[in-house]
Amino acid sequence: MYDFILPVMEEAARLMLSAHDIDAAVTVKPGDANFVTAYDVAVEDYLYRELGKRLPGAVFIGEEAAENHTELLSSSLAFIIDPIDGTTNFIHNHRYSAISVGVSDHGHMVFGAIYNPYDGRLFHAQAGGGAFVKDTRTGKISPIHVSDRPLSDGLAGFGTSPYYRDELAEPTFRAVSSLFRMTRDVRRSGSAALDLCMVACGTLDVFIEYRLSPWDVAAGSLIVAEAGGVITRMDGTPVTFDRPGSILAGNPVAHRTVLESGIL
């Protein structure tokens, strides 16, 4: 999978890097500020086409797909794809967006890759094989691991799903206020996929978001786990990819501290 998925992702990223007049290609999906651009669709179409050539029997589940057959996850090999995670960043040329590709085998993640073409870092993991980052500019591949910092010395990341789900705004910022007091500081990047990579490489010590879709977290969940981290729902139950849900990810110490704190 490494040999054929990563080159396809690197080629798909050229579509992102070539983007221009993005505002002219923006539409709004149901829900305020839930944007999609022509580039989201183009990247997803490219990934479906090229990855499908290598695994023609696989199911595809993606953010911009007309249909997502998540009910087939438990019985199929499936690609779970977010063509541009951090679309609002992408629209504003914030240059912190990523392509995310996860592979699930009968409901279990076996491969995940997340690529930020703006800084050239391509994070990837295979089940049982550890987690790594490739510098696509030099070709160098390095192992990554979560931090061992306690939450009190840590940096917390969070996502604001209430940007288009207003009912989650209050619990999100109540939890962030608590995290701010429990950590050295908090950060919001606008890309959950990349935030999970930051947990995996020890830049962030914990990450929370109240509602994410399967394509937001599929690849990142494996990268965090293979880097020695823990990722669950906010109540400590396992993450599944058949429906949206909350996320709590972190190094084992920080994850346990947040879970036991009662702030979520």
In the prediction, which pLDDT does 178 show?
98
pLDDT in tens, 66-124: 666 777 788 789 999 999 999 889 989 999 999 999 999 999 999 999 999 999 999 99
pLDDT in tens, 144-153: 999 999 999 9
Percent of the chain at pLDDT exceeding 90:
77
pLDDT (0 to 100) of residue 162: 47
Q: What's the whole-model pTM score?
A: 0.93
Q: What is the pLDDT of residues 204-217, one digit of tens each?
A: 999 999 999 999 99
Residue 32 pLDDT: 47
- Identify the burial level of 1 via C-beta atoms within 10 angstroms of its C-beta, where 0-12 means exposed, 13-18 middle and 19 or more buried: middle
Domains of the chain, first to last: 2-143 (3.30.540.10), 151-261 (3.40.190.80)
Please give the backbone phi and psi of residue 121, each rounded to the nearest 5 degrees, phi first: -95, 125
Q: Give per-residue pLDDT as tens, 201-247.
A: 999 999 999 999 999 999 999 999 999 999 999 999 999 998 999 99
Q: What does the alpha-carbon distance between residue 144 and residue 136 come to, in Å, rounded to a whole number?
A: 16
